[in-house]
Amino acid sequence: MPASQSRSRARDRNNVLNRAEFLSLNQPLKGAQETRSSSRKTTGPSVQAPPPNEGSKERRQSQQLPEEDCMQLNPSFKGIAFNSLLAIDICMSKRLGVCANRAASWGSARSMVKLIGITGHGIPWIGGTIICLVKSSTLAGQEVLMNLLLALLLDIMTVAGVQKLIKRRGPYDMSPGLLDYLTMDIYAFPAGHASRAAMISKFFLNHLVLAVPLRILLVLWAFCVGLSRVMIGRHHITDVVSGFVIGYFQFKLVELVWMSSNTCQMLISIW
């Protein structure tokens, strides 16, 4: 027996397939084992093969991802500048929102600041203009008041349209009031109070004879109305600045389509 064992060992040593570089030839293929094991599993009654359409659907969905879900690894310079300015605007607006709620640093002055903002609301100005138009007895006064009413209506429609298009929220989560819903001043951009204050102040400076102190107070009033909207957390700084710009262009538009005295008298008679 020992002689036979020694002979078999010698044969194994002399066999070329037992070398290290040829060991893989003696082992069975993994693919064959996997196919055998998979074929055994699929023969069972409980396992069902997935339909071939699911893989293609998942690939199509992954290829049709929206651009918002994709990572922008190489943003443009304009995008970086815009996002930086937007971040600065939000940060500065939140810092100036000192009357955003009762717990803020100037929370005790919130009612007074809101009252300043109400002076630039559209409902009091439209109602007051109509009352003055009814009680006015001069043609010149009726002409000015009729064009002012046109400017106020134009302001409400313009601001409501732009806000509905942009749909920007304010720096703080605040629900609009009843008067805001009546004038469709729901969103933040642009600030309707600021556009109205700028348009009215410019209108009065051009069509009313005022002393220098009153002219300065009128400009300060428009500025305070816009600032109050930022202080109570209703608008961003850019919303107010955009409102001032829109109000100025609204005044220019009203000047271009200025209604004459005869046209105003015809509208008043119809009304």
Question: pLDDT tens digits for 38-69?
Answer: 444 444 444 455 555 555 555 555 555 455 44
Whole-number pLDDT of residue 43 = 47
The catalytic position among 121, 193, 207, 236 is 193
- Is residue 121 part of the annotated active site? The answer reads no
Whole-number pLDDT of residue 42 = 45
**What is the rounded distance in angstroms from the CA atom of residue 27 to the CA atom of residue 133?**
103
Whole-number pLDDT of residue 68 = 45
Residues of the chain with pLDDT under 70: 1-75
180-188 contacts: CB < 8 A, separation 24 or more? 182/123, 183/121, 183/122, 183/123, 183/156, 184/156, 184/159, 184/160, 185/122, 185/159, 185/160, 187/163, 188/163, 188/234, 188/235, 188/236, 188/239
Torsion angles phi and psi, residue 15, rounded to 5: -75, 130
Q: Which residues contact 23 (CB under 8 A, 6 or more apart)?
A: none
Whole-number pLDDT of residue 17 = 52
Q: Which amino acid is it at 53?
A: N
Whole-number pLDDT of residue 26 = 52
DSSP letter string, 126-151:
HHHHHHHHHH--SHHHHHHHHHHHHH
Whole-number pLDDT of residue 187 = 87
Whole-number pLDDT of residue 228 = 93
Taking alpha carbons only, the member of 162, 141, 248 closest to residue 200 is 248
**What is the rounded distance in angstroms from the CA atom of residue 83 to the CA atom of residue 77?**
10
